[in-house]
Structure 1
Amino acid sequence: MKIQEYADRDMLAIDVANAIAGDLEAALLHHDLVSFAVPGGTTPGPVFDGLCAADLDWDRVRILPTDERCVPSDSDRANARLIQERLLTNRASVAQYVPLYLDGKDPESVLPEIESLIAPVLPLSVLMLGMGEDMHTASLFPGMDGLAAALDGHAPPLAVARPEVQPEARITLTAPVLDGALSKHLVIFGETKRKALDRAMSLHPKEAPIAAVLGGMTVHWAE
């Protein structure tokens, strides 16, 4: 793991967008199709704003969320909506989106169908992650039911997460899929998250799920 620090969040967004564009371009030199998994929340938006203008063969890129709330895709709580509005635009509008949730369906019942959609794009070519102050990443939350199974090295690609601290169920990529990405970037802001990351490095992934995916990670941090 290496940590890159930036003078401000604007500089971070520009640099991360350029780094990811470079990773995608390199992957496209060796593969007909490449995959790019991205987080939701407020953090990635400025990165997406720059990245979507990159001059890449976006029609050969498959974009998927690292996790998704089981809500309608047009909900303001859906990661799909953020990705559609901020990343799948400009030159990147021709990239293909691979959803992790199908509207109106029970999350457990839809897992086989979703897994069949993402199987062709594994291992992930490029991964961008965020992290909460509680050291969760994607929808792998400390103490949630099923966390041990989702962290296991032989876990299936997807898990249903029902964290008590969240209002709805979620579908998440599991730790081996996240950790197996060929290029990994973690973006965090603020002193609180920096301290949480430092703490995570000495904790078991059951206490700090982000710890399960830090090997080979490039961490991008700004106050």
Structure 2
Amino acid sequence: MKFHEYPDQEMLAIEVANEIAGDLKTHLLHHDTASLAVAGGTTPGLIFDDLCAADIDWDRVHVMATDERWVPADNARSNAAMIRARLLQNRAASAQFLPFHVLNQQPEDVLAELEDQVEPNLPLSVLLLGMGEDMHTASLFPGADGIEAALAPDAPAFTVMRPDSQPEARISLTARVLDAAIAKHLVIFGNAKRQALERAMALPPENAPIQAVLSEVSVHWAP
């Protein structure tokens, strides 16, 4: 794990966007396509605003979320909606987006379909993760039903999580898929999350799921 500290969130966003763009360019030198999995929520928005203008072959990049709330794409809580609004703009508008939510279906019923869609893009070329103060990442929540299976080394590509702390079901890439990404970036803001990451280092992944994806990750922190 490499820890990078920045004076403010704007500087972090510029630097991380540049690093991700560089990772994608490097991958595309040797592969026909590249896959980019990104966190939802509020943390990555500033990064997306810079990354979407990067001069790379976006039409060869396949973009997906690390996880998705099981809500329609026009719902304010949809990660897909935020990714479309903030990342798939400017030059990045030509990227191929792989949505996870399927209307009028339960998440358990579409796992095989989604795995068929995602497997050709593995291992992930580049991964951008966030983390909650409870040390969850993607939709891998500590203590949630099924977390042990989602953290297992032989887990399938996807898991469905229904944490008590959340109002809807979630679908998430499993720790096996996230940790196997070729280039990994974790972005956290504020002292509370920095302290949570420090606590996670001494806890088992079942209690701190971020622990399962920290191998060779670049951590980017700003106040």
Distance 2:201 2:103 in 1: 37
| Counterpart position of 1:61 | 61
1:144, distance to aligned residue in structure 2 (A) = 0.2
Give the counterpart letter for 2:183 in structure 1: S
| Counterpart position of 2:25 | 25
Cα deviation, 1:12-33, whole Å, max 9, x if unaligned, reads: 0000000000000000001101
Distance 2:31 2:217 in 1: 22
Cα deviation, 1:157-205, whole Å, max 9, x if unaligned, reads: 0000100000000100000000000000000000000000000011100
- 1:48 equivalent to 2:48? Answer yes
CA contact (8 A) 1:70 1:103 kept: no
- 1:166 equivalent to 2:166? Answer yes
1:138, distance to aligned residue in structure 2 (A) = 0.2
Distance 2:2 2:87 in 1: 26
| Counterpart position of 1:219 | 219
**After the TM superposition, which residues 189-200 of structure 1 pair with which residues of structure 2 at under 5 Å, given as runs?**
189-200=189-200
Distance 1:120 1:3 in 2: 31
SS in 1 for 2:29: helix
| Counterpart position of 1:201 | 201
Cα deviation, 1:60-112, whole Å, max 9, x if unaligned, reads: 00000000011001111000000000000100000000112212211100111
Q: Mind listing any 5+ residue stretches in structure 1 that lack a counterpart?
A: none
**After the TM superposition, which residues 1-223 of structure 1 pair with which residues of structure 2 at under 5 Å, given as runs?**
1-223=1-223
**Identity of matched residues, %:** 63
Distance 2:79 2:12 in 1: 21
Distance 2:9 2:215 in 1: 24
CA contact (8 A) 1:69 1:79 kept: yes
Q: CA RMSD in A?
A: 0.5
Distance 2:106 2:176 in 1: 24
Distance 1:181 1:116 in 2: 18
CA contact (8 A) 1:72 1:104 kept: no
TM-score, structure 2 as length reference: 0.99
Give the counterpart letter for 1:151 in structure 2: L
TM-score, structure 1 as length reference: 0.99
Distance 2:135 2:86 in 1: 25
Q: Mind listing any 5+ residue stretches in structure 2 that lack a counterpart?
A: none
Moved over 2 A (4+): none
Cα deviation, 1:114-165, whole Å, max 9, x if unaligned, reads: 1111011010000000000000000000000000000000000000010000
SS in 2 for 1:30: coil
SS in 1 for 2:105: coil
Distance 2:99 2:20 in 1: 21
